[in-house]
Amino acid sequence: MSEVLTLGEAMAVFASSDIDEPLWKAKHFDKYLAGAEVNVTIGLSRLEHSIEFITQLGDDPIGEFIQYELKKSNIDIKNISINRLYQTGIMMKQRVLHGDPDTASLRKNSAASHLNIEKTATLLLDQPEVIYFTGVFLALSEQTRKSSKWLIEKYKNVPDIKTVFDTNLRPNLWESTSEMIKTVNYFAHMAKIVLPGLDEGKILTGNREPNDIADFYLNNSDITEIVVIKLGVNGAFLKDKYGHKMTIPGFKVDKILDTVGAGDGFAVGLISGLLEGLSIESAIVRGNAIGAMAVQSYGDNDGYPTMLELNQFLVQHDQI
């Protein structure tokens, strides 16, 4: 039985090794696994948690690469399907010395975007402790939204399952901003734990302060119990349905190499902490730690730690 169940799009990212060159000009690339949900599965597996991942891949070399890498990371891939009509999505990412890198997605009409409700409904699924989903997969197609809704509703009456939703906005993948806001908020209201970034929360709710953003989700859903707003280097703001709130500081790092994957790393820390029985505050500390570790490595998930590495980091920062 897997502890965590997630669905999403798995891709390969071709990351430039040419420093500060625009993508059109770069000539040298390294290949890694990519995708928000993939990053979280890799991170949780590295912390020795069991994960079941649902996706659809093309019958192509990138799809074979993804299956190989996921199996190597001990991810349960029995519910990954192959579609011979569509290709696996890929991304390209710039390498920069400062700031956020430019990225380009080549995922329109990908195999994952055609993962539909009829296909999902035939899967043999474990009963997990956590269901994790993000706004990225929702953006791909009407079919991915139907699949996500089906999965959530399948388990909505099962007690003790935590549904964790990372809003993870990708405006360029949506037909319009209004459709993005409407759909992402609809799914957020179906989750027990909602994880927006501060800038995402501003877009989705029209509010600017973390407390007001949290109240938007807590006051408009009978399901949502906890909102954690990611504040980047400033840590995270927590508020629950009982009114308990606090800001949990982040970790300062000397050198930032790549910011991609930091938010997913936060989710890894929070989910793993909850699986291990930590308080929500301690789970957020762990999320902040893994996010800080992530930005110190190239690759979307290369900086995610083992449990030993995580504990060493926390000891160094007086958190254990």
Residues serving a catalytic function are: 264
Phi-psi region of 277 (alpha: psi -120 to 50; beta: other; left: phi over 0): left
- C-alpha 192/C-alpha 269 separation (Å) is 17
Two structure tokens written together for 292:
């800080």
Least Cα distance to 303 among 271, 235, 248, 255 occurs for 255
